[in-house]
Amino acid sequence: MTEPLADLPARRPVLAHHERFTGKVWDVVSDEVDLGEAGVVTRDYVRHTGAVVIVALDEADRVYLVRQYRHPVEAECWEPPAGLLDIAGEDPADAARRELHEEADLTADEWHTLVDYFPSGGGVSEAVRVFLARGIGTVPLDERHERTDEERDMIGAWIPLDDAVAAVLDGRVHSSSAVAGLLAADRARRDGYASLRPADAPWMRPEATRLVR
């Protein structure tokens, strides 16, 4: 291989599209896809809005994590603050700032793109961007967001980055956002943050995920 390793944007002809289920956050759809010589196949998948994740890192190399109940896996998972891209026209970096405010009562002066990933590209159209937030501040008490539903009982804690990475590698922390975000943050720290990309770096985000309820 002579070119840099990179995913290749590609689209195959969709001969038929079927809406199977419309939910509050995501939909289930079926596409009949023409793969050329490989024939026509039917693929069912979850059409997702996409999401942002925030790895907030303070001057002591501690990362802010929240513990939130995740019903599908029946567990209270430790993970970075995160949220859906479900507001029309909202810039992903602005969404990240909003989620950090709402879930962690924190602000940040310095923002970079840490890593992008598809959590399950074989069955979900979701694309996730993880931001690294530094220059951390605290939201005043009278400006804090009132959390509801699963977020109501959510707790947060500052954890040394080394300890958080160890928890991932030891199999004690399982959230995909924590695995990707914490390992990427550790890698960035090791090279003096030289590998960080701008907050508005190009992003391979499927257009189909840009849904608004």
Cite the active site residues: 151
Kind of pairing between the strands at 128-138 and 51-56: parallel
What 8-state DSSP symbol labels residue 126?
A: -
Helix or strand (DSSP H, E) at 64 = strand 62-70
Residue type, 53: V
Q: Judge whether 163 and 35 are in contact, CB under 8 Å.
A: no
Q: Is the dihedral of CA 139, 143, 144, 145 positive or negative?
A: negative
Q: How many CA atoms lie within 13 A of 12 on its CB side?
A: 16
Distance CA 146, CA 102 (A): 8
> 161: helix, coil or strand?
helix
Distance CA 199, CA 133 (A): 10
Residue 140 has which token pair? 């005043």
Please state the φ and ψ torsions of residue 14, each to the nearest 5 degrees. Answer: -100, 115
